[in-house]
Amino acid sequence: MKCDHCNKPATVHLTEIKGGKKIEKHLCEQCAAQNEGLPVKSHTPINELLTNFVLAHSGLSPREQTGACELCGTSWAEFRQTGLLGCEHDYGQYEKDLAPLLQRAHEGATHHIGKVPTRRGATGVPMKRQVDLAKLRKELSRAVEAEDYERAAKLRDQIRSADGGNS
Amino acid sequence: MKLSDLTTRAGEWLRGSGPMSEIVISSRMRLARNLSGHRFLTKMSRQQRQQVEHKIRETILAAQLARQTLYVDLENAPDIDRNLLVERHLISKQHATSEGARGVAIGENETISIMVNEEDHLRIQVLRSGLQLEEAWEQINGIDDILESKLDFAFHQRFGYLTACPTNVGTGIRVSVMLHLPALKLTGEIEKVFRAAKDMRLAVRGLYGEGTEATGDFYQISNQTTLGKTEEEIIGDFKRDVIPKIIDYEHHARRTLVNDRTTALDDKVFRALGLLRTARLISSEETLFLLSHVRMGVHLGRVKEIDLRTINELFLLTQPSHLAKILGRKLEGDHRRAARAEFIRQRLNVN
């Protein structure tokens, strides 16, 4: 089928109802864009589509109006465009906005439970103990789910002693 | 050790000697790490990039991670060397073509490669032949421990190891198993693999990773989730579930071919071998395609005079940059195809 306006093959097919009358239009990409104001982009790279999809579903956030990271200059809007963060502090700065995005990308996970550097990081916080606690808590919820109450009780005691009676 | 020493032979991972090597070509693992106190790559100035590259290079070389470590300065390396490293799976395509101070450290018979200033400051990689996930994890974990004792890695209590792209955050681990699945392709059952992988939220990619197509019936299966699971859990998913299942499917398909479609199988295998032994002009795609069938024939005992190692080496050495290195000159078009055909004929007609 040829385009209604020019001789190129028609790839856009429009059906409009105007005053109870059905109007069919067959257009090529260019004429659709020019005459109907329909931007049709047929060759969007798949990674761009995916990025757009993920970012579109991450929801609007107040961060978008607020300023960029003071240390690296990365704004939330910029991250949404490139998919890349600019420095380690961005994770702290955008923690609230990143969390739901990470959940979607990582099967609902919100916390790291894997390997931990044994040394103190730049922040000076002893990380090993904190993450071990997170790991124990996760195991506890699994034990409860599996109705393994004996194990759950043991884990609860472990958490209590590891946390120094704070939990 | 020089880069040119690499060209004449295949690395450890292509020896074809690891467990399940008739189907599992290699087990690859990588850890993404960034230095605390430095911006991520896209936000670094030229000078900052150089500083980080220098610091990491010095640390790696001083740490003696391997008996012999070769460091290649990729910013100043010629194109052919960079492409050679891509063909050997020691660096990514992105790392070969990007700009600025960057490099790669290679050690232990090419089982270790550490990319410096790729998407993250450090991409530690271990590559082993056959199904050796636990061995690979032990090795890479050890390297990470050594480097961590000398470098401050960016780490967040909640999010774990911090990476430029949040899809890698947490463990920063990517596990990839490269599989050769010619029988599933021939019997039209390759969809089973995609389904099995999808159920476990694993990605299926081509020979050279992200954005490449499956050529020569090679498929790379890798994890996408890096947060909320331990490294052992992520590796366990591969070891217990996905990989044994796919290996089973492929074995079953190969048995079906041998038992029920013997002549059709032999036709495929020996046509491929015949072409490789006689062709005068051959492209790298056709080479991959034909070698794939011969490789299956070798495993099924249809072809007896050639071993898996020879086939594996041909997969590697017939690629453009390897050919050019071996022959000592850059070739284009028909000259390259002719040289490739001659090289293959020599290798396959020796016995």
Query: Has residue A48 got a pLDDT over 70?
Result: no
Spell out the residues 6+ positions from residue A116 whose beta carbon is closer than 8 angstroms to its own: A127, A128, A131, A132, B155, B160
Q: Which residue has the tokens 């240390």?
A: A71
Query: Has residue B270 got a pLDDT over 90?
Result: yes
Query: Has residue B70 got a pLDDT over 50?
Result: yes
- On whether any CB of chain B is under 8 Å from the CB of A49, the answer is no
The whole-number pLDDT of residue A65 equals 46
The whole-number pLDDT of residue B349 equals 84
Mean pLDDT of chain B: 91
- On whether any CB of chain B is under 8 Å from the CB of A75, the answer is no
Q: How far apart are CA B148 and CA A32, in angstroms?
A: 57
Are B228 and A82 inside 8 Å of each other by CB?
no
pTM of structure: 0.78
Mean pLDDT of chain A: 75
CA distances from B324 to A164, B81, B212, B285 (A): 65, 10, 23, 17
The whole-number pLDDT of residue B336 equals 94
Are A115 and B225 inside 8 Å of each other by CB?
no
- Judging contacts by C-beta atoms under 8 Å, the chain B residues touching residue A72 are 39-40, 43
In this prediction, residue B171 has a pLDDT band, given cuts at 50, 70 and 90, of very high
Task: Please give, rounded to a whole number of angstroms, the shortest distance from the CA of A149 to a CA of chain B.
Answer: 23
In this prediction, residue B286 has a pLDDT band, given cuts at 50, 70 and 90, of very high
Q: pLDDT tens digits for B79-113?
A: 999 999 999 999 999 999 999 999 999 998 899 99
- The answer to whether the beta carbons of residues B260 and B314 sit under 8 Å apart is no
Task: Please give, rounded to a whole number of angstroms, the shortest distance from the CA of A40 to a CA of chain B.
Answer: 24
Q: How far apart are CA B222 and CA B207, in angstroms?
A: 12
Residue from the list A72, A73, A83 with its beta carbon closest to the beta carbon of B165: A83
In this prediction, residue B62 has a pLDDT band, given cuts at 50, 70 and 90, of very high
Q: Provide ipTM, 2 decimals.
A: 0.86
In this prediction, residue B154 has a pLDDT band, given cuts at 50, 70 and 90, of very high
Q: pLDDT tens digits for A10-43?
A: 777 777 777 777 777 888 777 777 766 665 544 5
Q: How far apart are CA B299 and CA B268, in angstroms?
A: 14
Are B171 and A119 inside 8 Å of each other by CB?
no
Q: How far apart are CA A94 and CA A69, in angstroms?
A: 9
Are A107 and B225 inside 8 Å of each other by CB?
yes
- pLDDT more than 90, % of chain A: 25
Higher pLDDT, A54 or A137: A137
- Judging contacts by C-beta atoms under 8 Å, the chain B residues touching residue A83 are 165-167
The whole-number pLDDT of residue A57 equals 57
Q: Which of A116-125, B11-20, B178-187 has the lowest mean pLDDT?
A: A116-125
**Exposed, middle or buried by CB within 10 Å (0-12, 13-18, 19+), for A47?**
exposed
The mean pLDDT of B113-136, rounded to a whole number, is 96
